[in-house]
Amino acid sequence: MSVMSDTSVAESGTRLQNFLDRAGLRGFPWKSATILYTISWSWLFIAGDLNVLDEPLYWRTYEIFRNQGFAPWVNFLFTDFFDFIFPRYSEFVFLAHFAVGLCSFAIISSLKLLERSQINFFSLIVLIAPFNTARVSSMTIVYTFGLLAFAIAWVLLIRAESKVVKSLALLLFFISFATHSLVFFYVIPLLHACSISEPKNLNASILWCRKNLILFLPPFMYVGLRAALWTNGPNYHDVNFEKLLNGFKFLIPTIAAGSIVFICRRSPRFRNLLGIRTFLIGLFASSIGSLAYLIMGFYRADLSFFRTFAVTFLGRSAWLSRHQLLQAFGFALILVGFVQLVSVLSTGVAKFLKVSAIGFCVFFAVCFGFEYVVDSQKQDRIIDALENKSDLVISRNYIFVDHVATLNARGRPYKLTTYSIWLHQAKYRGDRKNLLNNFTPWNVSADCEEMKDGTLVLIKGPKTHWDALKNWVSDGDMGFEVTVDDTPGACKPEMVTREKISGAIPILFYFTGDKG
């Protein structure tokens, strides 16, 4: 019996190793990746519940959204798919982004660009870099789904040999383009696929392109179908010559860096400059990942780009961190390249930099996560207070006055639609069918001069994140107090604060409550 058991275990182990080999995952740092990723992003399970309804309900209510150039399957993602995973959206996001990290490992391993320890470092940074903390919101469901489809397609493209599997890869790429930044980022997998063939010169690269012309079709098919079938009028995805020029001006230095890598890739002297090639490839990937947002004007092609990038990455940027969906890839390569360069001078300093980079990523991911946890408990207390009002009426006016807006995650302002959804949740909490399908905007305001007659919802609480943490540890509650007052004239103009929260790094003000 023991022999059979041992044989069975051996065969099972062999099958597992064969699968890992085919998937390109042999050598993945499972233990360290799982621990660090869980520490960095497990807050999604605590904070996600109250941040997932806004966009799907808004989508179903306002038909105008569907006429703005979105692919047909975006409607599926915000309706049937969301209904299927709700209320397990956080688990979906957590697992999807971990799967993207796995794909990143398989992708970079196939390049033979880095040593094993460098590949592991790259993969860890991709997993834990605190980009796109907005993933907690369902508004990013298209981003998460698109990135996952794109990453899987990339692995299939470079590792599969059968035409059927490669066709599946092209289909997944096409589906992922509903996240429009991926249309531009597709150039990276194309260059990767070309580099695997190891063309010896420019003519060989051109010949490869001619033989693999089908690989160039998905982005053009997507853009063509969108223009012909999915756009009924002007929308915020419209592109003109000025917008294109803004983006491509920024790409000039990046293209120059990429050209240097291509021209000098076989030079022994260039190869011996450890880190230069990796650093430049990372810079190129990061720039391509920003291209869509340059073209659409979120970034400007001047020095202000760096300030906007820094605020979006680490500052009070509300949900805008979703615009850095693709930055983890380039950021990780830039870090790996920099560490390689430093290792030439001192291996000790290089190791310190690796540990510091991992610590930096985990620290910011956890801190931002705590912001969302605080924000989540604040919303929960608001909904509880509203739920205790048994006479919630959709025709009534509701005025929300928030005295602790500095505790909103990433400095995000609450939208009027958010107030409506709180009221909707309070009325239909526990009623899944009505919660998802019967949303109607309520009469809400954040200003009692604008809406003078209505029910006041006054939100108070701890002044700082530090106070909220102390309250949470000592009492199990962060100390938010919400008063719902039906008394006529309960809202006084002096109650309403109109101070704006700046784009400064919120962590600097956890202890002071400063608006920046």
Whether residue 247 lies inside any domain: the answer is yes
Number of structural domains found in the chain? 2
Question: Are 334 and 464 in a shared domain?
Answer: no
* Portion of the chain with pLDDT greater than 90, in percent: 50
| Position 367 in a domain | no
Residue 515, domain member (yes or no)? no
Q: Give the pair of three-digit tokens for residue 332.
A: 């990780």
Q: CA-to-CA distance for 115 and 337, rounded, in angstroms?
A: 12
Mean pLDDT of all residues belonging to the chain: 86
In a domain, 84, yes or no: yes
Confidence of residue 1 (pLDDT cuts 50, 70, 90): very low
Q: Is the pTM of this model over 0.85?
A: yes
Q: Is the pLDDT of residue 88 over 50?
A: yes
Distances (CA, A) of 440 to 59, 64, 201, 399: 12, 15, 61, 17
Q: 95 with 230, same domain?
A: yes
pLDDT at 92 over 70: yes
User: What confidence tens digit (pLDDT) does each residue in 7-54 have?
Assistant: 554 555 677 677 677 767 888 999 999 999 999 999 999 987 777 788
Q: Which helix (H) or strand (E) holds 18?
A: helix 2-23
Overall average pLDDT of the 355-365 stretch: 96
pLDDT at position 4:
47
Peptide bond into 87 cis (omega under 30): yes
For the ranges 49-53, 202-206, 420-424, 500-504, the one whose mean pLDDT is highest: 420-424
End residue of a domain, out of 345, 364, 389 = 345
> What is the DSSP secondary structure assignment for residue 77, as one 8-state letter?
I
Same domain, 334 and 401: no
Q: Which long-range contacts (CB under 8 A, 24 or more apart) does 224-231 make?
A: 226/69, 226/71, 230/69, 230/70, 230/71, 230/72, 231/67, 231/68, 231/69
Q: Are residues 7 and 88 in the same domain?
A: yes
**Domain residues for 239?**
2-345
Same domain, 172 and 305: yes
Query: ∠448-450-383 over CA atoms, to 5°?
Result: 55
Phi, psi (rounded to 5 degrees) for 135:
-55, -20
pLDDT in tens, 451-469: 878 899 999 999 999 999 9
Task: Assess whether 435 and 489 both reside in one domain.
Answer: yes
Check residue 142 and give its pLDDT.
94
In this prediction, residue 357 carries a pLDDT of: 97
| 99 in a structural domain | yes
pLDDT at site 443:
93
3-state secondary structure 186-253: CHHHHHHHHHHCCCCCHHHHHHHHHHCHHHHHHHHHHHHHHHHHHECCCCCCCCCHHHHHHHHHHHHH
| 145-159, 186-200, 491-505, range with the lowest pLDDT | 491-505
335/400 same-domain check: no
pLDDT band at 419 (very low <50, low <70, confident <90, very high): very high
Higher local confidence (pLDDT), 287 or 12: 287
> What is the pLDDT, as a whole number, of residue 3?
47
Tell me, yes or no, whether 456 and 505 share the same domain: yes
Residue recorded with tokens 């006041």: 456
Q: Which range is least confidently modeled, 140-149, 203-212, 413-422?
A: 203-212
pLDDT at residue 2, as a whole number: 47
| Residue 364 falls inside a structural domain | no
Write 226-235 long-range contacts (CB < 8 A, 24+): 226/69, 226/71, 230/69, 230/70, 230/71, 230/72, 231/67, 231/68, 231/69, 232/67, 233/67, 235/67, 235/68, 235/69
Asked whether the predicted pLDDT for residue 205 surpasses 90, the reply is no
- Using only C-alpha atoms, what is the Rg of the chain? 25
User: 105-136 pLDDT, tens per residue?
Assistant: 999 998 878 899 999 999 999 999 999 999 99
- Please indicate, yes or no, whether residues 340 and 389 belong to a single structural domain of this protein: no
3-state SS of 51-63 is HCCHHHHHHHHCH
pLDDT over threshold 80, residue 103: yes
| 357: in domain | no
Which region among 194-203, 316-325, 381-390, 481-490 has the lowest average model confidence (pLDDT)? 194-203
Q: Verify that 338 and 388 share a domain, yes or no.
A: no
Indicate whether 111 belongs to any domain.
Answer: yes
Asked if the model's pLDDT at residue 237 lies above 70, the reply is no
Do residues 321 and 204 share a domain?
Answer: yes
* pLDDT for res 48: 77
- How far apart (Å, rounded) are the C-alpha atoms in residues 413 and 374? 14
Q: Residue 268's pLDDT is what?
A: 61
pLDDT at 265: 58
pLDDT exceeds 60 at position 483: yes
pLDDT value, residue 266? 60
Q: Regarding beta strands 397-402 and 455-460, do their DSSP bridges make them parallel or antiparallel, or are they unpaired? A: parallel
Q: What is the pLDDT of residue 378?
A: 95
Q: Is 401 helix (H, G, I), strand (E, B) or coil?
A: strand
pLDDT above 90 for 243: no
Residue type, 146: G
- Token pair, residue 121, equals 């470092």
CA 161 to chain centre: 31
Average pLDDT over residues 192-199: 84
Specify which of 137-151, 219-233, 485-499 reaches the highest per-range mean pLDDT.
Answer: 137-151
The reply to whether 334 and 389 lie within a common domain is: no
Q: What percentage of the chain carries pLDDT values higher than 70?
A: 88
Kindly give the pairing relationship between strand 481-485 and strand 455-460: antiparallel
